[in-house]
Amino acid sequence: NAGVTQTPKFQVLKTGQSMTLQCAQDMNHEYMSWYRQDPGMGLRLIHYSVGAGITDQGEVPNGYNVSRSTTEDFPLRLLSAAPSQTSVYFCASSPGQTYNEQFFGPGTRLTVL
């Protein structure tokens, strides 16, 4: 049972490049989410999904796309990277739709030059 896995661990992009951050969980959790962590600001919710085929925006969705074709995977896409997207990105999963514990992945540190 690997829990929540994220790839890559580190990534450097140039402004305007696109990329996908991968997130997978093997706990059969319905709920998955993406957060970004910036110094002095805690974690902020980007997008979330309550099940396969269902996604919605969080607090800071601009510049990011998501899809949820399977229960296990929840990739985050940056279509045209900007320096403001330099951050540490965390994926999390949780069972059900009540306030259960969210299990976090180890994070992806992204730098946009």
Partner 1 sequence: AQSVTQPDIHITVSEGASLELRCNYSYGATPYLFWYVQSPGQGLQLLLKYFSGDTLVQGIKGFEAEFKRSQSSFNLRKPSVHWSDAAEYFCAVGSGGYNKLIFGAGTRLAVHP
Quick one: 1 or 98, whose CB is closer to partner 1?
Answer: 98
Angle at 38 between CA 47 and CA 11, to 5 degrees: 80
C-alpha to C-alpha distances, 44 to 12, 36, 60, 71, 96, nearest whole angstrom:
21, 5, 7, 23, 21
Q: How far is the CB of 93 from partner 1 (least distance, A)?
A: 9
Q: Which residues contact 39 (CB under 8 A, 6 or more apart)?
A: none
Q: How far is the CB of 6 from partner 1 (least distance, A)?
A: 8
Token pair in block for residue 90: 């965390």
Quick one: 26 or 56, whose CB is closer to partner 1?
Answer: 56
Quick one: 1 or 42, whose CB is closer to partner 1?
Answer: 42
**Residue 93: in which H helix or E strand, if any?**
strand 87-94
Please give the residue ranges that form the binding site for partner 1 (CB under 8 A).
4, 31, 33, 35, 40-45, 48, 50, 56, 58-59, 90, 92, 94, 97-102, 104-107
Q: How far is the CB of 2 from partner 1 (least distance, A)?
A: 13
Q: How far is the CB of 48 from partner 1 (least distance, A)?
A: 7
